[in-house]
């Protein structure tokens, strides 16, 4: 492609930028409603402050190790 030909360049769209802003606004409004009313499960990690995939994995491994220590059988898979 010829770098001097303006037809070879795509226009920049701000739609994704606007949707990101809208997503943050909706998520913050939902969090302000769901958290004080205890409508989220205690182990919910997505879209919560101070929670991440690391938090979820640590909780999962803790539960798994606790089950193994108790002599319980654990299975993680699909049928």
Provide the residue-wise pLDDT of the chain in tens; the chain has 79 residues.
777 887 777 766 667 888 889 988 998 898 889 888 988 887 777 767 777 888 888 888 998 999 989 998 877 655 5
Phi, psi of 38 (to 5 degrees): 50, 50
Beta-carbon contacts of residue 68 (< 8 Å; ≥ 6 apart): 74
- Cα-to-chain-centroid distance, residue 68: 28
- CB of 8 within 8 A of CB of 2? yes
């Amino acid at each position: 492609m010829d770098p001097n030909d303006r037809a070879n360049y795509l226009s920049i769209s701000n739609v994704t930028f606007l949707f990101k802003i809208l997503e943050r606004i909706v998520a913050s409004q939902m969090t302000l409603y769901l958290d004080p009313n205890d409508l989220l499960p205690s182990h919910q990690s997505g879209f919560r402050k101070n929670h991440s995939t690391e938090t979820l994995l640590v909780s999962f491994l803790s539960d798994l190790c606790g089950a193994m220590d108790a002599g319980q059988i654990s299975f993680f898979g699909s049928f």
